[in-house]
Structures are given as structure tokens and as C-alpha cells.
Amino acid sequence: MLISSENRPKLLAAAFGLVLTLVFWFWSNIHPETLLGQIRDRLDGVVYDTRLSNTLTENVRSNELVAIVDMDEKSLAEQGRWPWPRIKFAALLQGIADAGAAVTALDISFPDEDTNPVDLIRETGEVAGETISDDTLNDLENLRDDLDGDLAIANVVSNNDIVVGFTFNNEVEVRSALPKPAQILNDLNYQDYPIPEPRAILANVQAINDAARFQGFFSTAEDPDGVLRRYQLFNKHIGVLYPSLALEAMRVFLVADGMQIIGSPESGIESVEVGPLRIPADNAARTLIPFLGGKGAISYYSATDVLEGRLNPGDLDGKIVFVGSTAQSVSDFVTSPVQANYPGLEVHATMASAMLDENWKIRDGLIAQLGWVLLLLVGIAMSVVLPFLRPLFAVVVSIGAIVFLVFLNVISWSKFNIDFDVALTVILALLLTIFNVAYGFIQENFAKQAITGMFGQYVPPDLVKQMGSSPDSALSFDGERREMTVLFADIRNFTNISEGMAPGELKDMLNRYFTPMTQIIFEQQGTIDKYIGDMVMAFWGAPLDDSDHAVHGLTAALQMQAKSNELTAEFKALGYPQIKIGVGLNSGEMNVGNMGSEYRRSYTVLGDNVNLGSRVESLTKFYGADTLVAENTYQACRDHFVFRQADKVQVKGKEEAVTLYEPLGLKGEVSDAVLAELADYEAALNDYLSGDWKRASSGFTSLLFQNQKSVLYKLYRDRVTDNEPPTEGWDGVFRHTSK
């Protein structure tokens, strides 16, 4: 199948769009550790943060079974600066347990041994500036265990459901014993998945570590851009899995034996299950943090109120309580999508609340594939559609596509908790739009230049400008059929004229003739097809549509006849022969387009109606008419011009008869004398056509007496005089046997 020249640039643009779509699709799947992967994730992160911030509802609260006990600025002001003595911290933990907390989770660790007051007194030998005796020191030694802060915390931890926190890092070596690993119930080979494996654990001191029945890490990992968006459910260390603080707290709260990591080698990690709860996860055992807003979405209680017994009854009863600090001096803050300085303590509480409410935003597994599929669909659709649209429509369609993408993304997020990547898809849509708009303008510019080059010498400048301003509207270089009017104008007896003139004189005369004739055609919005010797061929109705093509063509013919008469005087003054032209016109369907061979092409018209126009022009001399038009042209112009029917003929090479008409002038501008003569002619012609040739002979003889130079009158008088009257069934057609 051949591709038209008009569609070739559009198909090239579509091909480029498809290639760009594939590039973006590969980009969307590239590894996140590469530079392009980091750029992609950064873009997605910006979109994620913007959407999350703009879709949060004010005054959203967490699950009522989750609370925070905060060593806040108020607590530091009342209880003393940080760090507190561990005896006091043990009292805080006991106070939380006594308030009815079901589970306590510590967003704090104790990696260094506490200094026992007995050792401090022994080192200084005095208390409050007074020297202590040896007996007193020996008595204090008996109180060592009672004054040991680490043992105090260990005792509280061992007797209550408290999840002790610890941290991972890649710098500090392991201290003391390792924490207790996660209790994984199923046999999924998690070693095959990219779960992070930090080099070191910063564990609690031996006493607390040994006493802790439940432990979870509270260290978090931000995205490469420094924003915390995902929560790490598990970390590996030396091939062993350890649970996060919130996950272990939930296991203890649900009295579950362990957790299950759900997935398969084909689909990867899909979720983590603890008891009846399901947490969606990616292959790195991470899940999106469903932030509820800025600080304060979780219920906060001041640590000093716990220590001083100022809590209301039931404030902590049956709840999961996370203990930590939001005081500025402790500096436990992260950068989140909803707040620059977001308490790390509240991250864990938010996760516990989400686990209870099963409020998750899902973007991994099949959802990630949804983003890839959407990118392909949008890219392919825009690549195929945009090249065939005008630049303005392309922009409108693209804006609509981008708005739809954003709308779909927001609805999926807010209504269905589905988060699919949209940043690359939007960027791809923008790039395809920019490319197609720019490419469209470039193609329009090329089209304008092509139009100017092709039609500049054949079409009036105003029409060329009009075509150039909208090269795609109603304009095609390819072949097509149109309703048009064709004109042929020929200098009579040109062979005899040319033989009597020098070459230079002949050239000058033709230039003086063709210039005004071309100008007239241009003024009537016609297109010059070609000059052949002394003949001019022109047409109306292409390259731009012209509903009045017949009227414009006939107007040009009459103006050309008038100009020819004016040139007679000019040529006489120059010593050139007098010229007389014959003009023939025909209207109807014609083939028009840029035709020819690969070596030479021209914009021209072809078809039977074109040939008939040429035959009509050749008959002007036979009928003694300056201009003749075929029947189709007459029908299109009869309301504007006065006509005289010349004859009904069958031209050589045509089977069907055609009626020829001679235009006498515009209606309202033809003299009364001419109109009276026309009436007499039509009466005689009616007698001729009806077969009453005797009466017709009288009429044509009378007309010839009035106008002895009329070739037409003499033709009809001789026809009815020299021939027998027609027999029955005569159709009134005169058959020409020569062109």
C-alpha cells in the first residue's frame, strides 16, 4: 500500500512518538539505583507528596487504640533535661503499664550502660559536698541493684508487654547480644528478595536485651531525596529477619505467634500478614506510610503527666502506646510528605493505626504494572492521534489527556487507595504534545513553502497566501475528483500570424498578451494550468474549493475578450497583427492533482469534462462566437448572465450530445436592442428545433438581414435552406466530424 505524500510526515511523527513511548516504558522499569532510576523516583516522589498533601482531610484522627506518650518540652521542663535517669524512665514505663496499656513500644534504645549512683559516689567519695564514710559506702553497696537503672528498666520490661526498640546502621559495630529475630511462620525463601541488610545492629545493653521478650527496630530509611515515604517492615542481619517496632507491637497486641510473608518467585513479595491483618508490601518488605496529616493526628499524652499521675482514667487503657520524644533537643524528626519536621515517633504510631484500620495505599505488584500499562496506552494513543490533528486541537487533546490522568490518579488514590506512577506518563504526554505541535508548525511552514513554490506562478498571490495560512484545509496535492470549471483560450489564425513575425516580435507580442490575460484569471481566483503556444488553459475550484467556480470562470472569459479588443489598438501601434481569441468553458467533475512522473510533475486537471472544454473552444470559430460554454456551465451561470443557445451538438469522440451557449453579457448590462434581437433568434431557433424549417428559414433570413456578419445566423439559414426538413424523431443534434 502506497503512503501518500500528505500522510508521510504524520506517520513519521507517529513513529517517533511510539519510539519515545518505548523509551519511557523502559525508563519506568529501570533499576532505582541507576541515575535515570533515581530521577524517575524523584519525579514520582514529588507527585506523591503533592497529591498526599492535597488530599488529606482536616481533623483526621488515628485508630483510638493507638496513643503516644511523649517526653515533650513540658516533660523536660518539669522532670529535668534529657537524658533522664533510667530509674525515672523505668518509673514512666511502669506508670504506662499501670494506666492499662496493652502494649508499650519504645522508640528509644539504651545501647550504653547506665552509671550506677553507688559507683559515682565511690568515685567522688562525697555526696552534696560532704565526705562519705567507708561504712556508709558499704551500706550503699547493698543498694546497688535497687539503684541500677538498667536493671530497673529490665524488671519493668520483663514483667509487662513492652516492645524494646533498637536500631540498624552501617557504621557502629554490634554491641551486646543480638535482639530476638522475627517469628516467621511460613517457609517463603526471603533470602531471594532485596530486603535491606544493614551491616550492624546497635542493640540495648545486656540486661535490658536479655529481659526483653519483644523487640523491634525503629530506625527508618528515607528515599534518596531525603523524604520518608515507606516503612520498612523487616530488615535482615546476617541472613536473619528482624521486625520493625510497629509490626512487632501489633503482633504482641494481637497475641499472634508470628508473621507470614506472602509472595511467590513469580509475583515477588505481595504482603505481610500478622494475625488477621494484611499489610501490602513490595519486594524489599516496605509499605507506603499512610500519613494522616501533620504532627498530632495520633493522640498524644505528656510523659510528665504519666509520672505525676495526672492522666484521666482510661486514657491508655487497652491501647498500643508508643513512647518517645518530640522535644527539639532529642532531634527525632524526619522529613515527610506532609511535614518537614515530622516526629519519627509518630511514624510508628501511624503505622500501627493503619494496621488496625487496614488503611493502605497500594502501589506495588499488579498496581505497579497498571502504571506501566497506562503509560504504554497513553503513549501509543497520543503518538497515533496527535500527528493527525492541527496544533491547537493537539494541545486541547493533550490537556484533556493530562487532566484525565491526574483525575484518574486522584480518584484511584482517594476512593480505592491505589497509587500508580503517573509522573513519567504526564511527562511523556507533555513531550509528545510539544513535539507534535512543533513538528506541526514546521510541517505547516514546509507546506506553505511548497504551496508557494508549486502555485506561485499559476495561482493569484492572494489565493497562495490563503492556502499558505491553512495548508491542510481543503487542500491536497494528491489526485482527487472535484466539481470544477475549465477554460481554454486560443488566438485564432495564430499559425499565420507567427509566420509573418520575427521571433523577437512574436515573443514580445505573446508576453503582452499573456500578462493581462493571466492577471484577469488571477483576479477571478483561477489557477493557470499551462500555456501551450498561444493557448491558455485555466481552471476554477482547485486547489481551494470555489462554490462559484463557473461564474468566476465565465467572468474571466468575458473580461479576456474585452481585454483582447483593447490590445488591438496597442498592437496596431506597434505594428503587430490584430488578434482575435476564442474561449471555451465547461463545468463538471474533473480529476485534479499533482500529476506527472518522478522527473517532472505539475498540478493539472484531467478527464472527459476537460476534453469537452477543449472541444467547445475549438467550435467557437465554427459558430462565429467569441466565447462558448457547455450546458453545465450555462446551468451554473444562467442567473447571472444572458445567453444565446448556439447549437445542440455531438462533438467528435463523444456519444452524448451537448448544448452550447454563447454568453452575451451580464444581466442588466445587455442593451435592449440585443435583447430584442435575442428574442427573434430564440423564436427562429424554436421553429428550427420543432421541424418547421420553412418558418425558421424566414426567421434566420430576417436576422441575417439585420446582422449580415453573423456566422451563426448564416449557418442556420443555410442549414434549413440547403437541407430537407427533418423526419419524425429528429433530436435537433448536429454531429461534428472533426475537432
More confident residue, 478 or 240: 240
CA 549, CA 354: separation in Å to the nearest integer? 76
Helix axes 8-28, 366-385, angle to 10 degrees: 170
Cell of 555: 467572468
Residue 382: its H or E element: helix 366-385
- Predicted pLDDT at 72: 92
pLDDT score, position 1:
43
474: pLDDT confidence band, cut at 50, 70 and 90? very low
Pull the grid cell for residue 57: 482531610
On the question of pLDDT at 173 being above 70, the answer is no
pLDDT level of residue 194 (50, 70, 90 thresholds)? confident
Q: Which CATH architecture has domain 481-664?
A: 2-Layer Sandwich (3.30)
Judged against a pLDDT cut of 60, whether residue 454 lies above it is answered with: no
pLDDT at 363 over 80: no
Cα 19–chain centre separation: 15
Chain Cα centroid distance, residue 524: 43
What pLDDT sits at residue 512? 93
Which whole number is the average pLDDT over 478-496? Answer: 90
Most confident of 376-380, 556-560, 719-723: 556-560
pLDDT of residue 434: 86
Higher pLDDT pick, 461 / 67: 67
Instruction: Indicate whether 305 pLDDT > 60.
Output: yes
Q: What is the pLDDT of residue 594?
A: 78
The per-residue pLDDT for 523 is 92
Domain boundaries, the chain: 8-56+366-447, 66-357, 481-664, 671-731
Q: pLDDT tens digits, residue range 56-115?
A: 765 567 789 999 999 999 999 999 888 888 999 999 999 999 999 999 999 999 988 877
Percent of the chain exceeding pLDDT 90 equals 45
Bridge pairing between strands 277-280 and 214-217: unpaired
Decide if 93 contacts 325 (C-beta within 8 A). no
The grid coordinates listed for 209 are 536485651
Q: CA 590, CA 612: separation in Å to the nearest integer?
A: 11
Compute the CA torsion angle 204, 207, 208, 210 (nearest 10 deg): 100
Q: How far apart are alpha carbons 440 and 398 in whole angstroms?
A: 14
In DSSP terms, 587 is beta-bridged to 485
pLDDT at 526 over 90: yes
CA 376 vs. chain centroid, Å, equals 12
Specify the residue for cell string 526498640. Answer: 165
**Residue 58 or residue 223, greater confidence:** 223
Confidence check: pLDDT of 685 > 70:
yes
Instruction: List pLDDT tens digits, range 529-561.
Output: 898 888 999 999 988 889 999 999 999 999 999
pLDDT at position 131 over 80: no
The confidence band for 145, taking pLDDT boundaries of 50, 70 and 90, is low
Residues 6+ apart with CB under 8 A from 630: 584, 585, 586, 587, 612, 613, 616, 658, 659, 660, 661
pLDDT at 473: 46
Alpha-helix runs per DSSP H in 386-460: 391-416, 423-455
pLDDT of 233 higher than 70: yes
Q: Which pLDDT value is given to residue 400?
A: 85
Span 598-622, pLDDT tens digits: 666 778 899 999 999 999 999 999 9
Lowest mean pLDDT among 244-253, 362-371, 634-643, 673-682: 362-371
Least confident span in 58-67, 564-573, 579-588? 58-67
Model confidence band, residue 460 (pLDDT cutoffs 50, 70, 90): low
| Residue 711 pLDDT exceeds 80 | yes
Report how far residue 360's alpha carbon sits from residue 272's, in angstroms, rounded to the nearest whole number.
12
> Which residues have C-beta within 8 Å of that of residue 421, sequence separation ≥ 6?
28, 44, 47, 363, 368, 371, 375
pLDDT, position 2 = 46
The chain-wide mean pLDDT, for the chain, equals: 84
Asked whether 249 and 356 are in contact (CB, 8 A), the reply is: no
Examine the pLDDT at 281 and tell me if it is beyond 60. Answer: yes
Which alpha helices (DSSP H) does 524-641 contain, by range?
A: 549-574, 608-618, 620-623, 631-637
pLDDT value at residue 436: 83
Q: Tell me, what's the pLDDT at 57?
A: 65
Q: In degrees rounded to 5, what are phi and psi of residue 325?
A: -140, 140
How far is it, in rounded angstroms, from Cα 274 to Cα 130? 57
Q: Which amino acid is at 45?
A: G
pLDDT tens, position by position, 404-441: 888 887 777 767 777 767 777 788 888 888 888 887 77
Its sign, for the CA torsion 233, 237, 239, 243, is: negative
